[in-house]
Structure formats: structure tokens, C-alpha cells
Amino acid sequence: MSIQVRRAESDDIPAVKKLLSQVLEVHAKIRPDIFIPGTTKYTTEELEAIFADEKTPVFVAVGEDGQIKGHAFCVITRQPFSTNMKDFTTLYIDDICVDEGARGQHVGTALYDHVINFAKELGCYDVTLNVWEGNDAARSFYERMGMGIKETMMEVIL
């Protein structure tokens, strides 16, 4: 299957919302104490604003059949968090999802490669993302793509 990756457009919102629902359900199974099943991360209005903002590029992977097979939400940020860190630009992957029916067809690789190339074109220092503990398939995928751990967030539930 041939995959084309491009910027998301308003017409893509229904398909992107379907993907957002799929990824939410994965997270809700892992952390039902945090995520609410049957919801999505963004409303239609929020997606329109995100798609229009140059600092929050969203990419969609489109199959030969014209259907959206996956998405990657990104955020361009400037570091540092404090005066003791070097100044650099990071491309943060806020959300990435491959449609359940398209998994194993290299859609994730096409999206990831596109994001990496986009970040290089921008002159970013790095590309980062968060993976929820328990999402072993996602973590394994990112490790195969060459990503390593930058920092670890820990918690205690009260």
C-alpha cells in the first residue's frame, strides 16, 4: 500500500476525530482512572484552530483509496525551561495514531519519517513525545524508529 503524508485540512476532521477516538480507547484501557471512554481529545472547533495554527502542524497519512489511515499532531516549542539550559527548538509529537484497520501497513513509519523530515527542515534540535506506561506496542515502535528515553515522569496516586 502506498501512503502519502500531507498537512491536515478541515475536510479531514471527521476522519481525524475517528482516529482520536481510537487512540483514546487505547489510553482508557491502560489508565481508566484518567481517561474517559467514548470521548475524544479535541472538539471540531478546537481541531479547526489547531489545523490553522502554524505552531501546531497536523499531518495525515492517506492511502491509495483516499482514506485517512493515520495522523500526527505536532507542537513546535522553544526551549529552555530555565536559564541553565541551551536555547533550542523541539518538535513535540502530541498525538500519533494509525487506524486499527491499517496497522502493520507501515502507516506509522510513513508518518514518523515525515515528522522527522519536517523537524529537520525547521532546524529543530530534537523530536520528542510521551508514551503512557502500559502502551508497550507504541513504545516498541518508537524504539524501533530510533527514539530513546529523554526523561521519566513518575507519579504517586493519592
- CA distance readout (Å), 124 to 59, 84, 118: 17, 19, 9
Q: Which amino acid is at 17?
A: K
Q: What is the pTM of this model?
A: 0.94
Q: Which amino acid is at 112?
A: Y
Q: What is the DSSP letter of 103?
A: T
User: For the chain, what is the largest distance between any 2 Cα atoms, rounded to a whole number of angstroms?
Assistant: 50
The domains located in the chain, with CATH, are: 4-144 (3.40.630.30)
CA-based end-to-end distance of the chain:
47
Q: What is the full per-residue pLDDT of the chain (158 aa) written as tens digits?
A: 799 999 999 999 999 999 999 999 999 999 999 999 999 999 999 999 999 999 999 999 999 999 999 999 999 999 877 888 899 999 999 999 999 999 999 999 999 999 999 999 999 999 999 999 999 999 999 999 999 999 999 999 99
